[in-house]
Chains A and B, each alone.
Chain A
Amino acid sequence: AQSVTQLGSHVSVSEGALVLLRCNYSSSVPPYLFWYVQYPNQGLQLLLKYTTGATLVKGINGFEAEFKKSETSFHLTKPSAHMSDAAEYFCAVSASGSARQLTFGSGTQLTVLP
């Protein structure tokens, strides 16, 4: 069984400030971890993923995330927020051996203030 907890349903940052969205997971097997972004009235778009190998993962639009096994975390960061980053962000986990099951966190709505 696996689960995802996203701390903070709403996060506000100023334009140019650091973005930090928190994600903790639990998984009984080695996890695959994902961040998705959902812009208004659109589907989900993959930002980045961790499967194996390097624990610091770089994604699109300047985002990155670090897999920390000891902390069971996969926090998403971006050094400098842009107005276009305003969206809902979902962390998700999948068991490495399962092509079927993807479990999502509750989502974090990011607001970027001018």
Chain B
Amino acid sequence: SAVISQKPSRDICQRGTSLTIQCQVDSQVTMMFWYRQQPGQSLTLIATANQGSEATYESGFVIDKFPISRPNLTFSTLTVSNMSPEDSSIYLCSVGPQNTEAFFGQGTRLTVV
């Protein structure tokens, strides 16, 4: 299993600003994933972050809006840039092969005002 810590757990931000979310894992992992859970909706994969390479973004998500860093095998950050109220969501970090057992952080609850 893997223990994942996300920071911050919640934040309220002004529109037009940016927020960086941190994800720390207690073991080395190859793949890290970032999901968004909009209010009342399911999880949507934003991107896959591999150490030493550019993140792979899913359709509808772009690097300029959601830049990701992956400096080592235990850490990643997701930045939500130039925020608008539509970005109010829960953002979750996940590790592990998604097709066998994915582990999730507790999420970052973002409200944009």
Main secondary structure of the interface of A (DSSP, over half): loop
Give the total of A residues in contact with B, Cβ under 8 Å.
25
Give Cα A27 to B107, complex, Å: 28
Tell me the complex Cα distance, A45–B107, Å.
12
Contact B41 A106 (CB under 8 A): yes
Contact B48 A44 (CB under 8 A): no
A26 at the A/B interface (Cβ < 8 Å)?
Answer: no
A54 interfacial contact with B, CB 8 Å: no
Provided the pairs A42-B106, A43-B4, A43-B104 are in contact, do residues A100 and B98 lie with their beta carbons within 8 angstroms? yes
Q: Which residues of A contact B (CB under 8 A)?
A: 32, 34, 36, 41-46, 49, 51, 90, 94-102, 104-107
User: Which residues of B pack against A, CB within 8 Å?
Assistant: 4, 6, 9, 31, 33, 41-45, 48, 92, 97-107, 109
